[in-house]
Structure 1
Amino acid sequence: MLRVFTILLLATCALQAHAKVDSAQAARLGQDLTPLGGERAGNAAGTIPAWNGGLAQPPANYQPGMHHPDPFSSDPVLYQVNSQNLAQYQALLPAGLQALLEKNPEYFLRVFPTRRSAAAPQRIYDATRFNAQAAELISGGNGVDGVAAGIPFPLPQTGQEAIWNHIMRYRGDQISFVTNQAAVLSNGAYNLLKLERDIYFLYGREGVTPQDLDNTLFYYKYKVVAPAKLSGSALVVQETLDQVLAIRKAWRFNRGERRVRRLPMLAYDTLQPDTNGMATADVVDAYNGAPDRYEWTLVGKQEKLVPYNSYAVHQKGIPYDNILGRNTVNPDLLRYELHRVWIVEAQLRKGFSHPYAKRRFYIDEDSWQVLAVDLYDKSGELSGVQESHPISYYDVPMFGSTLETIYDFKGERYFVDGMDNNEPMYNFNAKLTPRDFTPQALRREGN
């Protein structure tokens, strides 16, 4: 009898661990909830409006190929937050942003009216509603099964589900683009690194089934264009869905060696090249890769001041010197708004090593884009903050970051990626196939 009871108990626990949302909850998507699971209504104070579809169509003054005109350029600045009035707004700020203001008295946040501009194609909304009753975590939460497009867990019940929503959110079908990155040292010195990048997303493509994925999320490639001494070096990545089952495959072409090498590891705390030691592999896109080295906790939803509708820093022709200040990005080019965000905490598990022993993620309820991350070191001290400055790429439509930053408080330095102001705009209709992301293709790129 005891053995039967134990078996029944284990079976019940397994069902609870993989429980899906029932049909009544799923029916809320597109009703009192947005199609991706956010609260459709505004807040009681009226400082957050209702979501009414986001920016799903370009404004009249947009032409294909343009750096996206700011549809909210006439919005007034409601107020500024700085080190002098920080106490007044402290409850609304991520801890990392509070520290950034305290350490840089000349820095400030310009706060604008809240515009809920996030939007995605209708097929992504349809897939998300299906996923609510079909998606399940597998491999101890290190993979997701039963889905091929859309947000997998629009009504998350765990921290793992919420971070998977970020990892698997819609970012277009394929993109070719050119961006610049810079590691700005404590004395303000930096060198620009220009990259040509291609991404082919398999997850989220129209008509793709779970079987078609073959444990693959997307393919990624970059080639260094400048400076001249690094030009020609290139990297290609085949991003797996369950990276514990099969780690991401990565190959690098080194111009000096004139050969392609398979990288044994490009994940977790592996340092990215040319970032002055400020960027680990898993901070790209705020967080990427397997979640297995952290314990994830869904803290809940709160109202916070976060980067949003960052069109000003996205505009064509801005000199990169005007973006990169000595200690921070130019605050006159940034926009902050009050939004509801999911807060997820990640605590490093015993037996694993990482510069960030704890992270607190602030995830947009309307898009599942991570907007800010508090970074804590091994001693539990707040050591830095990440930010993603997003816009609605309304020509797709897709909501994603146009600029990403990491501030290292102890080193008094910061890293910026995504500057494209003097480059051709993203091409979301690039002619790419998986064959463009092989070691052989990488060798051709380097020659």
Structure 2
Amino acid sequence: MTRRQDGSSPSVSITPTPAAERARQAVAPAAGCREESVVLRKLSLLLLAAMTLPAQAKIDAAQAARLNQDLTPLGGERAGNAAGSIPSWQGGLAQPPAGYRPGMHHPDPYAADAPLYRVEATNLEQYRPLLSAGHQALLTRHPEYFLRVYPSRRSAAAPQRIYDATRFNALNAELISGGNGVAGVAAGVPFPLPENGQQAIWNHIMRYRGEQIRMHTNQAAVLANGGYNLLKLDRAVYFLYGRAGVSPQELDNTLFYYKYKVVAPAKLSGSALVVQETLDQVLAIRKAWRFNRGERRVRRLPMLAYDSLQPDTNGMATADMVDSYNGAPDRYQWTLLGKREMLLPYNSYAVHQQGIPYDSILQRSTVNPALLRYELHRVWLVEAELRKGFGHPYGKRRFYLDEDSWQILAVDLYDKRGELIGLQESHPISYYEVPMFGSTLETLYDFAGGRYFVDGLDNNEPMYDFAADLSPRDFTPQALRRAGN
């Protein structure tokens, strides 16, 4: 599915799902449930799930064996497409390129690639079948924006032990708590052959991202007039899920630990946050504490999930939008729509390079398109519709998940009336020293407000440290208090 030689529009099709989408995952809660107590809501959801959900059947050994045959170790199709515009998967970037040393901003292994073509407002109709609704709206609203389309490079890779764990998961992973948790796994993608939308979104949530990371990044809310202020954060993540040697029992319902400390601007410097991320957040909500520099004390946050607004995003970003989607899936009904070839962000090394001024990246209405790269890839389409009785500014979201990594590459955002109101993007690269494929820059466009939010600016900061000396002791309220002093 690439541009035809005669210039006519490419055809597009959606591949059927591996199995028919199962019945809706739970009966919608009664209206007014937001006023119920948290405990009653959890009990109601679990009871409804137990009454309405069939047992989640595991796939058989013959299906799992495909992960060493026609499928990649994480469940993508090994073969390229019929047109030759998507190549076969050959293992990805599992080794650093020559001359790379840890601590460097990752050099672009595809710097010699020339763009194949540009998609812009003037030729939108020719490429519309390959574009998400959000990208179509972005090009229409901002005619100065364009997509530079490059040769497709299937660079996603992970360690062999993650591949081995994923093969194990294919036979053993199961959804629990009405699809709001996963059991029987400790590393790897839980459902490499997904049969429904919940399994697919859990693949993103539980994908491999290393064992620990220390990073300095900036975020900015760019207003309609082009103004913005950078917020610099010192961040750390300690992953329990995916860590070598950890068993399912040792997870103790924990995915990872996360913290950040504000470095700049000076008026906010010293404020900090710690999060203990649970696996099943319906049974046990994530725990979060915040240190306020002005108060000089640590406070437990009653809620940092779902539609809670992230601080310092000018009201644009909800808590569950970090990493494109995170947290419990219980407020939405999830549908797996199938697989499709689309133009999406990929191998975004150009915007990741050291020394680029942030003013050169953050233009008035959009991120500088001359620094971005788009490629044709096969993605899973997953649609989430807000369940009756729950509140959220997004009544529907459509997710586009990379078949080779399960990284969400884009999200179309709709309000409760069904109107398209926003677009999220993740611009990924291969962190080949791990190896791991993940986002270097995340964007959120607010169409109604004519503004956007960017997170992950690292061009003038020390590069990610995947060997940082971290432990769970660094992610407690006590550690937060010490860090703030």
Partner Cα separation in structure 2 for residue 398 and residue 430 of structure 1: 16
User: 1:432 aligned to 470, 473, 482, which one?
Assistant: 470
1:186–1:411 contact (8 Å) kept in structure 2 = yes
The 5-angstrom pairing of residues 17-32 of structure 1 reads: 17-32=55-70
1:140-170 Cα distance to aligned partner (Å, 9 max, x none): 0000000000000000000000000000000
- 1:189 equivalent in structure 2: 227
Confirm whether residue 293 of structure 1 aligns to residue 292 of structure 2.
Answer: no
Q: 1:269 aligns with which of 297, 307, 316?
A: 307
* Map of 2:30 onto structure 1: none
Question: 1:132 aligns to what SS in structure 2?
Answer: helix
Kindly state the Cα deviation for residue 229 of structure 1 after the two structures are TM-superposed: 0.3
**Unpaired stretches in structure 1, ≥5 consecutive residues:** 1-12
Give the superposed CA RMSD: 0.9
- In structure 2, what is the equivalent of residue 231 of structure 1? 269
Q: Is the 8 A contact 2:273 2:290 kept in 1?
A: yes
Describe the superposition over 1:323-374 as per-residue Cα deviations: whole angstroms up to 9, x where unpaired. Answer: 0000000000000000000000000000001010000000000000000000
Pairing 1:346–2:374 present: no
Task: Kindly indicate whether residue 246 of structure 2 is the aligned counterpart of residue 208 of structure 1.
Answer: yes
Aligned partner letter, 1:136 = E
Matched with 2:168 is: 130
Corresponding letter in the other structure for 2:395: A
Pairing partner for 1:311 from 334, 346, 349: 349
Q: Distance in 2 between matches of 1:340 and 1:217?
A: 28
Structure 2 partner of 1:218: 256
Query: Aligned equivalents of 2:156 and 2:476: distance in 1?
Result: 33
User: Following TM superposition, by how much is the alpha carbon of 1:30 offset from its aligned partner in structure 2, in angstroms?
Assistant: 2.2
Q: CA deviation at 1:63?
A: 1.3
State the partner residue of 1:377.
Answer: 415
Structure 2 gaps of 5+ residues are 1-50
Report deviation, 1:445.
1.0
Partner AA of 1:79 in structure 2:
Y
TM-score by length of 2: 0.89
Counterpart of 2:405, as a letter, is S
Give 3-state SS (helix, strand or coil) of 1:67's partner: coil
Distance 2:350 2:433 in 1: 18
Map residues 159-174 of structure 1 onto 2, 5 A cutoff.
159-174=197-212
In 2: Cα distance, 1:441 partner to 1:31 partner = 47
CA contact (8 A) 2:346 2:374 kept: yes
* Letter in structure 2 aligned against 1:119: A
Q: 1:373 aligns to what SS in structure 2? A: strand
Q: Deviations over 1:280-338 (max 9, x none)?
A: 00000000000000000000000000000000000000000000000000000000000
Amino acid at match of 2:466: F
Q: 2:461 matched to 1:423? A: yes
2:481 is matched with: 443
79, 82, 91: which one pairs with 2:129?
Answer: 91
CA distance in 1, matches of 2:417, 2:227: 29
SS in structure 2 of the partner of residue 441 of structure 1: helix
Moved over 4 A (4+): 13-16
Between 364-373 and 24-33, the greater mean CA deviation after superposition: 24-33
**Alignment match of 2:194 (pick from 142, 149, 156):** 156
- The one-letter code matched in structure 1 to 2:246 is V
Paired residue for 1:81, among 119, 127, 147? 119
Partner of 1:50: 88
- Work out whether 1:176 is the aligned partner of 2:214: yes
Mapped partners of 1:360, 1:213: distance in 2 = 30
Instruction: Provide the C-alpha distance between the structure 2 equivalents of 1:18 and 1:271, rounded to a whole number of angstroms.
Output: 34
CA change 1:177–1:233 in 2 (3 A) is: same
Which residue identity is paired with 1:159?
G
Paired position in structure 2 for 1:10: none
AA partner of residue 58 (structure 2): K
* Distance in 2 of aligned mates of 1:280 and 1:212: 30
Q: TM-score, normalised by structure 1?
A: 0.97
Q: Which residue of 2 aligns with 1:5?
A: none
Offset at 1:61?
A: 2.1
Q: Give yes or no for the alignment of 1:109 onto 2:147.
A: yes
Q: 1:360-416 deviations in whole A, cap 9, x for unaligned?
A: 000000000000000001111000000000001011000000000000000000000
SS in 1 for 2:285: coil
Q: What is the identity percentage for the equivalent residue pairs of Structure 1 and Structure 2?
A: 81
CA displacement at 1:210 relative to structure 2: 0.4
By how many angstroms is 1:14 displaced?
8.7
**1:66 CA drift (Å):** 0.2
Within 5 Å, give how 1:325-344 maps onto structure 2.
Answer: 325-344=363-382
CA contact (8 A) 1:61 1:69 kept: no
- Secondary structure, aligned partner of 1:133: helix
Q: Distance in 2 between matches of 1:132 and 1:144?
A: 12
Query: 1:412-436: per-residue Cα shift (whole Å, max 9, x none)?
Result: 0000000000000000000000000
Asked whether 1:36 is paired with 2:74, we answer: yes
Q: How many Å separate the matches in 2 of 1:220 and 1:418?
A: 15
